[in-house]
């Protein structure tokens, strides 16, 4: 696959992913506004476990209460942060927002507090936007700002979720309340219960230990992501160098091929010139009309060959060519295998009609069609091939019709496939013809009736007066 095609596919897939993540982000934000309807302290039985811990003076029950609270906070809050993060990530990849760089980066800072403060007037539930929330918002901003384009969004989400869960343990750590941690109602009740039971040190060790473990996992995961990112960057740079080296080698090969082609053209035209001179001298000395006709055909064929050899140097270029000249070149090439008595030629184009073509390739294409027609006609005594050229609605139509064996209807849909043939040949001809015609912006159509006739029509746009 070429780089352009690969780049186009990647761009398309990236666009689809951006829309997908944008939709998920909006759904998560919508969910975060609705979840207080069904996610309350009663949902997980937090206060039931809390009362058991308090009445039984059980630290283990209190630790279970902590875990239930953290689970509730994660279920409520993670969708808010992830929704804002995905929304910012999706907009950062959209070209229409490319000039709103600052807005995209500050978007989580605007969305997250807004949802926090919307919940209370709607549901009467107060989300505490304390120190953990500020730290997490800052972390989301940093994560959105980092240009880790090779890191997938799911990996970035994991990088966020792990420290988020760890941060929740600081909310129930005794001694951190004065620093903006754990100002919520349930968090305060848990710390009061620990104080009453004399379990503040145990609760502190429990929370800080789990926080440290999750923080370590987060740092380790982030380092792995950075390492993967650097590896992919290095691989991309290496691939770029290899592509540039390949292009350099390819250009050198093209220059070498061009030089060799020029030498080959010179070597081929020299004997052709000799042939033309000898044919001219022979025609001057020959009186037999039949031999003179043969000599004239040889002269025309060698002249056409000289033109085609010259075109080798410009094989990739399109040339404005008069239709009558192009038809003459085609007939000269086809005369090698096609008897003149079998071929009927009708050029109905006005004189001066032009087509912009690559002469070598289009001659090969139409000669290929004529050769296929000759094979289809075979040894039929009544075999005829009609080569018609006409102008119609700005198109030049080259039509080859024969009364040969034809093509079965079920085979017509496969005639342009590589390897297909209804005769003993490679089957590459029609595929090549179709490719060449379409490369010129043209069309090819084939109609056939088994055992009766086959008509092949090639349509090429007429060139304007300026050759375009």
Structure-token match 């380092």, residue found: 223
Handedness of CA 21, 27, 29, 35 (dihedral sign): negative
Predicted local distance difference test score (pLDDT) of residue 366: 92
The DSSP code sequence of 282-331 is HHHH---HHHHHHHHHHHHHHHHHHHHHHHGGGTTS-EEEEHHHHHHHHH
The domain defined by 316-461 folds into: Heat Shock Protein 90 (3.30.565)
Q: Give the integer Cα–Cα distance in Å for 233 and 330.
A: 54
Distances (CA, A) of 189 to 125, 182, 210: 16, 10, 20
Q: Give the integer Cα–Cα distance in Å for 168 and 162.
A: 10
Q: Give the integer Cα–Cα distance in Å for 42 and 25.
A: 28
Nearest to 402 by CA among 386, 379, 422: 386
Question: Do residues 180 and 186 make contact, with C-beta atoms less than 8 angstroms apart?
Answer: no
* Six token digits for residue 391: 């102008």
* Six token digits for residue 258: 């061009």
**414 contacts: CB under 8 Å, gap ≥ 6:** 420
The number of helix segments (H) and strand segments (E) in the chain equals 12, 7
Predicted local distance difference test score (pLDDT) of residue 311: 62
pLDDT tens string, the chain, 468 residues long: the values are 444 444 444 444 454 556 777 888 888 888 888 888 888 878 888 888 888 888 888 889 989 999 998 898 888 888 888 888 777 777 765 544 445 556 666 777 788 888 888 887 887 777 777 777 788 777 777 766 665 555 667 777 787 788 888 888 988 888 887 887 888 888 888 888 888 888 889 999 999 999 899 989 888 888 887 787 788 778 878 888 887 877 777 776 666 655 666 666 666 667 777 777 777 777 777 777 778 777 777 777 777 677 666 666 555 668 888 999 999 989 888 887 888 888 999 999 998 899 998 888 888 889 999 998 998 887 677 889 999 999 998 999 999 999 988 888 878 877 877 655 655 444 457 888 888 898 889 999 999 988 889 999 999 999 876 555
* Residue ranges of the chain that CATH labels 3.30.565.10: 316-461
């Amino acid at each position: 696959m070429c780089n352009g095609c690969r780049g186009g596919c990647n761009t398309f897939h990236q666009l689809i992913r951006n829309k997908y993540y944008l939709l998920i982000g909006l759904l998560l934000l919508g969910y975060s506004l609705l979840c207080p309807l069904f996610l309350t302290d009663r949902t997980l039985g937090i206060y039931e476990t809390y009362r058991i811990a308090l009445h039984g003076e059980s630290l283990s029950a209190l630790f279970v209460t902590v875990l239930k609270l953290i689970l509730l906070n994660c279920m409520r809050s993670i969708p808010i942060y992830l929704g804002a993060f995905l929304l910012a990530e999706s907009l950062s990849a959209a070209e229409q927002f490319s000039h709103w760089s600052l807005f995209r980066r500050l978007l989580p800072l605007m969305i997250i507090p807004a949802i926090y403060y919307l919940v209370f007037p709607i549901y009467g539930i107060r989300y505490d936007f304390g120190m953990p929330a500020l730290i997490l918002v800052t972390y989301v901003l940093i994560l959105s700002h980092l240009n880790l384009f090779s890191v997938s969004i799911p990996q970035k989400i994991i990088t966020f979720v792990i420290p988020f869960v760890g941060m929740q343990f600081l909310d129930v750590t005794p001694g951190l309340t004065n620093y903006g941690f754990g100002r919520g109602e349930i968090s305060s009740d848990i710390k009061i219960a620990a104080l009453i039971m004399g379990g503040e040190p145990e609760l502190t060790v429990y929370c800080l230990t789990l926080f440290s473990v999750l923080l370590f996992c987060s740092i380790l995961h982030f380092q792995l992501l950075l390492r993967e990112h650097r590896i992919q960057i290095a691989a991309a740079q290496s691939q770029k160098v290899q592509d540039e080296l390949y292009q350099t080698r390819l250009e050198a090969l093209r220059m070498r091929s061009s030089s060799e082609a020029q030498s080959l053209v010179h070597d081929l035209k020299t004997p052709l010139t000799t042939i033309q001179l000898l044919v001219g001298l022979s025609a001057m000395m020959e009186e037999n009309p039949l031999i003179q006709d043969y000599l004239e055909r040889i002269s025309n064929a060698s002249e056409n060959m000289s033109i085609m050899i010259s075109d080798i140097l410009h094989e990739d270029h399109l040339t404005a060519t008069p239709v009558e000249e192009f038809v003459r070149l085609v007939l000269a090439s086809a005369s090698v295998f096609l008897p003149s008595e079998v071929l009927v030629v009708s050029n109905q184009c006005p004189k001066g009609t032009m087509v912009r073509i690559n002469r070598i390739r289009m001659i090969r294409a139409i000669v290929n069609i004529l050769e296929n027609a000759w094979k289809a006609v075979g040894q039929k005594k009544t075999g005829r091939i009609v080569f018609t050229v006409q102008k119609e609605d700005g198109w030049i139509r080259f039509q080859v019709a024969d009364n040969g064996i034809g093509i079965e209807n079920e085979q017509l849909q496969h005639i342009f496939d590589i390897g297909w043939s209804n005769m003993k040949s490679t089957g590459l001809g029609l595929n090549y013809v179709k490719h060449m015609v379409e490369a010129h912006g043209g069309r090819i159509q084939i109609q056939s009736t088994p055992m009766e006739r086959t008509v092949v029509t090639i349509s090429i746009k007429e060139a304007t007066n300026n050759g375009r």
